[in-house]
Structure 1
């Protein structure tokens, strides 16, 4: 089965409005490694994670199936971007000290991806999978948001979204587990930030394709009743992870 590409169409929105991960996540990953030569960021999207890894790795290879997403990635002489699926790469055996997947592994074929991980990872390398859950802002906004998430666009999420809702606790993970990173992404958002983030959702794009209208427009009118247009609010996303060491 061909891998799903659900984010090319809104790649610009994705780069502008998707949240960024806390620095403590990268600090924890760095502490688990003895060498920092080569990293692979799978499902890199617009290269957000790859850019952070390049701060402490000699070189980073970053892969994605979306040419549009990769076109938005920042150029760096320490990052090489590849248009290829995570399950089938051209990397040599025993290459990587660290393999990362941020908010993407639920789209992969787990069995084939893990076979590739075992092939290209160095003995003792780290595999880190993480994502972020449903945001919270305020009781008034959250009540509207939760109805929109589960009710309005709920039927338009692909089935893989359940792995995110379950905090990756139900994905297969055949590796020696290290302590998971838990924390939160926090940001200060105005209404346009919130609206842009919603429009980057795959479920919203599916809704538009099927119904010919954008459900975010009506929803934002409701939100404006409890969120003044000139006001910024703190947005919080819980971060979850599975981190493992690859034994050979």
Structure 2
């Protein structure tokens, strides 16, 4: 599993979009029991904290200690530094495992083997993510130029799974139809928009390689187009669900 986000952990916590309550509630309703959930690659704990309303105990792991330092402290949420593919939890311990906007960084085979070990019989794995931001036509064109032309060569190869809405990730679980139709809508200031763009891993790779921030190359044009907008942004959401079946 890659760690592309420790360097901008604070910005990630501040500017990355959360997931809507109706989506979290729908995911939480899938397992037969709500005793223990595990949020893998939790980052700043967004999903873990949301799940805490529905489960007796939520465990949240990440390989980045800096990311975990940004996570809210909630009484029934326990954080630890652990990789997705090899954890220290007992067999058949969890009713639900979630992965949000991170599975494309994993060693798929090793992770699915671990998830199968950790989940109870009929336990659920829910893999979710969000696509590219949508705003207004002019701003979208500017953002797409940043995404494809300016930082395009700096995206990790795994990014293609996000572009393909997770439809092409290997899914080594007994998959079932997932609840759908979710999207995230926000009203953002220009500062929030550029703050989000600066959390892109490709932007950070560009900065490391060139010593300059690529967001600055489109900032004036983007600000001009944003002034004509009402600040509305939309993130399309995607979800895949698998369940463990055993006969023993």
> Taking structure 1 as the reference length, what is the TM-score of the superposition?
0.96
C-alpha displacement of 1:32: 1.5
Asked if 1 retains the 8 angstrom alpha-carbon contact of 2:134 and 2:235, the reply is: yes
Provide the residue aligned with 1:21 in structure 2: 19
Per-residue deviation, residues 89-115 of structure 1 (Å, max 9, x unmatched) = 000001000000000000000000001
Per-residue deviation, residues 111-168 of structure 1 (Å, max 9, x unmatched) = 0000100111100000000100011100111111111111111111100000000011
Taking the TM superposition and a 5 Å limit, the aligned residue runs for 1:175-214 are 175-182=173-180, 183-214=182-213
Provide the residue aligned with 1:101 in structure 2: 99
Asked if 2 retains the 8 angstrom alpha-carbon contact of 1:180 and 1:240, the reply is: no
Asked if 2 retains the 8 angstrom alpha-carbon contact of 1:62 and 1:81, the reply is: yes
Asked if 1 retains the 8 angstrom alpha-carbon contact of 2:112 and 2:173, the reply is: no
Task: State whether structure 2 residue 168 is matched by structure 1 residue 153.
Answer: no
C-alpha displacement of 1:25: 1.1
Taking the TM superposition and a 5 Å limit, the aligned residue runs for 1:6-45 are 6-45=4-43
Provide the residue aligned with 1:170 in structure 2: 168
Provide the residue aligned with 1:50 in structure 2: 48
Give the Cα separation in 1 of the matches to 2:129 and 2:214: 25
Q: Which structure 1 residue ranges, 4+ long, deviate > 6 Å from structure 2?
A: none
Give the aligned length.
245
Give the Cα separation in 1 of the matches to 2:217 and 2:66: 28
Residue ranges of structure 1 left out of the alignment (5+ in a row): none
C-alpha displacement of 1:232: 4.3
Taking the TM superposition and a 5 Å limit, the aligned residue runs for 1:208-223 are 208-223=207-222
What is the aligned-residue RMSD (CA, Å)? 1.1
Per-residue deviation, residues 176-210 of structure 1 (Å, max 9, x unmatched) = 22222331111001100000001111100000000
Residue ranges of structure 2 left out of the alignment (5+ in a row): none
Give the Cα separation in 2 of the matches to 1:54 and 1:233: 31
Would the alpha carbon gap of residues 12 and 211 (structure 1) be closer, same or farther in structure 2, given more than 3 Å must change? same
Task: State whether structure 2 residue 119 is matched by structure 1 residue 121.
Answer: yes
Give the Cα separation in 1 of the matches to 2:131 and 2:111: 23
Would the alpha carbon gap of residues 232 and 68 (structure 1) be closer, same or farther in structure 2, given more than 3 Å must change? farther
Give the Cα separation in 2 of the matches to 1:169 and 1:82: 30
